[in-house]
Structure 1
Amino acid sequence: MEFYSLLLRLSPAKQRLVRELVWNLAQLETLTIPADHDARLEYTAYVDGWLTSLVARRFAPETLRRYSRQVHHLLKANPHPTQAVLESALAAEISAGRTAGTVSRMLEAFRSFYSYLAERGLISTNAAAKIPKPRDYAVSRQPATQLQVDAVFKSAKTLKHQVQLMLFVDCGLRVRELAFARISKIDIEARLISVMGKGSKPRSVPMSSVTAEIVSSHIQDIRSLGYTGDWLFPGRDPSKATNPDAIRTFFYHLCDRAGVKRFSPHQLRHYFATATLSAGASLKAISSILGHARTSTTVNTYWHIIEQGEVSNQHAQFSPLQQQMKGAGHSETLGE
């Protein structure tokens, strides 16, 4: 009976030991790895070990859930994914209109999993290593247009959905941050809402007086209905927060009702960022509001879609030479 038939009779743990032994021996050139080694590897048997290694490296719970979901989905569709399969999976996400960030995070999951397998000698070729970075794909983060924003606001008939839209547009929240917002973390008088961002990092985000007022009305509204919990947007089970997917689904319903092409609620976050930066807001302040760990992330994500005219206006207003000339009472240009 051939080697792999015998191997499959062993428990998953013993299979891993045998595969590692085979690979280590091959590294010593005592035998040759079968050409179809990677194609016959039971990838799913190593997912738990990979995730456990990420836990030990203190990956954020949300990142672990996302990595697990993406890799399990990949292996369910194709148990023995090659580089071509990985590229097809990424291309499918791009065709579906996913943002560069979404595709990038998916590739990060694939790379992490394949690196884990390669480091342990379980595969001879890292199929994810040579795939181009997602930024090489023609996918850009586009903010919602003013027309789209106006349309969805008009189609939001309930106070709850008006509050959600205002927190997206006025505070630049992510969908998950909105879904798990807590009443106890909102200071109406100070006009601040504290949310849990990526990597379980809390941050306080300012609200406009209009948003603070409508948030207060929403809280009073759900309290009047007998809700005593802490979730700003309780789910069908009041003890739990609303599901982020439920927010996305209803948002698409608002787009359909408004008669505009569907766009994601995350594009309202982009709208907030580009609108505030275009108006001359401090890059450092907006980066803090968005919850970016580095200001460079804000620059790389949004600066290229700010109107060049705004950049020119900012230069004309704040150029040190222009300021010096104003201080000296000169209005003439150089060379005159």
Structure 2
Amino acid sequence: MSSESPLLPAVEGFLRYLKVERQLSPLTLINYRRQLTVVVELLDALKVTDWTRLDAALVRTLAARSSRSGLKPASLALRLSALRSFLDWLISQGTIQANPAKGVATPRAPRHLPKNIDVDEVNQLLEIDLNDPLAVRDRAMLEVMYGAGLRLSELTGIDVNHLELASGEVWVTGKGSKERRLPMGKTAVLWLEHWLALRELFSPQDNALFLSKLGKRISARNVQKRFAEWGIKQGLSSHVHPHKLRHSFATHMLESSGDLRAVQELLGHANLATTQIYTHLDFQHLASVYDAAHPRAKRGKT
């Protein structure tokens, strides 16, 4: 983004608002900045120098140019969403009177259901050879991630004093700095106890629960790398990453309990619609069982 663009100061003000008042995560802020950077560049090319000049026709032009540049529907929807949020903020600041992006349709992207690991593969993944302290740490991270259905940022953000092992609970901070208290299960507690007995070997530099080899709070990238490596070592057929374990937790909980509201609370979803995607996964499983078992479901057969 050109530092000389007259559109820039408002964008920077919006990003400060998201960081300070909304307390959004660094990754979310990066995504907003990235999308609004491109919007400003496109408007600069169109000789737009003031946000009050933006109308629905210009927004449609932005969408068309983004699409012609090869942007996929899901990414275009993300760009328009960021623009709508920014323009809503401009309305709250009294800069503009209406949001011209709200009249522009968002392209429909094909809905991809999250992939999960079945219970047998989860058990296979968690049977880790415990020859060194790092393996114990990784087993504890995997158990907590799957046992509580955490986001990656929630896992890496846990401090030692966030644990209540006697009751099998953990405090985590989710999106929007919202805290929630979660059960973990006996297996996760057991491996946390194993890890805590070894944690001091790494000379901890702070109160972080999970540490790198250097004694610092483990990074999200390091967790991703270690999980992927364990997936390969344990012979799983699909790539293992933290969010897939969260998806697996949600799917397995819903299949067993059928309690959508409880799963919503455990996952920390603000909107029930976000959790409802797992009902599609559950229905797919039920439909496949039905097709295989019911005598009137033999499609194409007499």
TM (normalized to structure 2)?
0.69
Larger Rg: 1
Task: Give 3-state SS (helix, strand or coil) of 1:167's partner.
Answer: helix
Partner of residue 80, structure 1: 42
Residues 1:305 and 1:180: Cα distance change in structure 2 (over 3 Å): same
Do structure 1's residue 292 and structure 2's residue 269 form an aligned pair? yes
Alignment CA distance shift 1:251-1:156 (3 Å) = farther
Deviation of 1:68 (Å): 3.3
Aligned residue for 1:166, secondary structure, equals helix
Going from structure 1 to structure 2, the CA distance change for 1:192 and 1:281 (only over 3 Å counts) comes to farther
Percent identity, aligned pairs only, is 22
Correspondent of 1:60 among 4, 7, 23: 23
Q: How many angstroms does 1:204 deviate by?
A: 1.1
Q: d(CA) in 2 for partners of 1:272 and 1:149?
A: 10
Cα offset for 1:269? 0.9
Determine whether 1:49 maps to 2:13: yes
Render the CA deviation track for 1:242-288: whole Å, top value 9, x for unaligned.
Answer: 22232223323334444633253212111111111111253332222
Per-residue deviation, 1:196: 0.8
TM alignment of 1:124-139, pairs within 5 A:
126=100, 130-132=104-106, 136-139=108-111
With over 3 angstroms needed to count, the CA separation of the structure-2 counterparts of 1:222 and 1:137, relative to structure 1, is same
Contact 2:149/2:246 (<8 A) preserved: yes
| Distance in 2, Cα, partners of 1:232 & 1:84 | 48
Q: Is the 8 A contact 1:182 1:231 kept in 2?
A: yes
Matched, 1:175 2:152: yes
In 2, are the aligned partners of 1:83 and 1:127 still within 8 Å (CA)? Answer: no
Counterpart among 229, 242, 245 of residue 268 in structure 1: 245
Q: Is the CA contact 1:70–1:106 (under 8 Å) kept in the aligned structure 2? A: no
What is the aligned length? Answer: 259
Gaps of 5+ in 1: 1-7, 13-40, 95-102, 314-336
Matches within 5 A, 1:129-278: 130-132=104-106, 136-146=108-118, 149-150=122-123, 152-154=125-127, 158-227=135-204, 229-235=206-212, 238=215, 240-257=216-233, 258=235, 260-278=237-255
- Structure 1 residues 45 and 267, CA, compared in 2 at 3 Å: closer, same or farther? same
Deviation at 1:198, TM superposition (A): 1.4
Q: Scaled by the length of structure 1, what TM-score is found?
A: 0.63
Q: Partners of 2:109 and 2:86 in 1: how far apart?
A: 22
Aligned to 1:111: 84
Summarize the alignment of residues 9-20 of structure 1 with structure 2, pairs less than 5 Å apart. none
Structure 2 runs not aligned, ≥5 long: 44-61, 290-302
**8 Å CA contact retained: 2:212, 2:218:** yes
